Amino acid sequence: MRVRQFLAVLLLPAISAAPPIQTKPVMPHLLVLGVPHFANHHRDLINSNVEDVLTQVRQREMMEIVSALAALRPNHVAVEWSATKQAALDERYAAYRAGKYVLTGDEIDQIGLRLAAMLNLPRVDAVNWLEQAPGNDDDYDFGKWLEVHGRSGELSAITADGQRRVNAQDKLNRCRPIAEWLRDLNSPEYVAWDESTYYRIATFGDAKMNPGAAWVGAWHARNLRIAANLKRVAGAAGDRTVAVSGAGHANLLRRYGAGMGFSVLDTNKALPRPGKPTC
């Protein structure tokens, strides 16, 4: 009996000193949906011409996309709306939920507001950054630099090549469901092509002045700010966010989001299954 008691006393320190079981922290989840600008704002270097998404057929397709995203049960929906103007977005969302606002063709309305309302979320999060970058305009004006140095043709070649690609995609998309448009824009192939364009622009300069690299750097800095805004509003453990943005932002937001502690979900796995051509 005494031997057993002695052994028990010896074992007690070892048992009490055993480290606690470590549980893996629950990371916030982020799905970034890159989209074309459905309302055709034409504010970018290369622009698509999206057909009317307000037709009956396209609205049905849009609802299929929103329903598929809702199945992820996000508790945050974030959109490309200036974070400093959250109050204006709150007003629009409240008016929509009250039946006093008719959705436009813009992706903020078509996906952002609609998804948040379907999930009965209290608000749609504004996470964009649209303030003035530091420095002077000339610091970023690679077009002017190319012109001064007799190299304007290089930019023309980039935009012409990009526009040809986008125009061909627009033609193809007329006969495909919207989910297929999005599947292409969130594919590794599109991301590689899109990023290569920015890297080409970054070479527009010399050792003394490099406005191309400054402009691309400002683009990355803008996306870092957007990712930081996402972390601020939806970075708590267990948060689940669907962020809707222009396709050019999407992969940077995934990369920066992962670096800031998000578990980044595969966008294309969340979209509706591939559909048949419509024409």
Task: Give the pLDDT confidence of 34-65 residue by residue, as tens digits.
Answer: 999 998 876 777 777 889 999 999 999 999 99
Task: Give the pLDDT confidence of 69-113 residue by residue, as tens digits.
Answer: 999 999 999 999 999 999 999 999 999 999 999 999 999 999 999
Residue 24 counted as domain residue = no
Please say if the pLDDT value at position 146 is more than 50: yes
Coil/strand/helix, residue 277: coil
C-alpha to C-alpha distances, 266 to 124, 125, 252, 269, nearest whole angstrom: 22, 21, 14, 6
Residue 6 counted as domain residue = no
Please answer whether residues 124 and 114 qualify as being in contact, where contact means their C-beta atoms are separated by less than 8 angstroms.
no
Percentage of the chain lying above the pLDDT 70 cut: 91
Residue 15 counted as domain residue = no
Residue matched to tokens 């998000």: 262
C-alpha to C-alpha distances, 188 to 10, 55, 216, 255, nearest whole angstrom: 59, 30, 20, 13
Residue 4 counted as domain residue = no
Q: What is the pTM of this model?
A: 0.88
Domain that includes residue 153, residue range:
29-270
Residue 11 counted as domain residue = no
The count of domains in the chain is 1
Residue 7 counted as domain residue = no
Q: CA angle at residue 59 from 53 to 64, to 5 degrees?
A: 120
Beta-strand runs (E) in the chain: 29-35, 76-82, 125-128, 240-246, 263-264
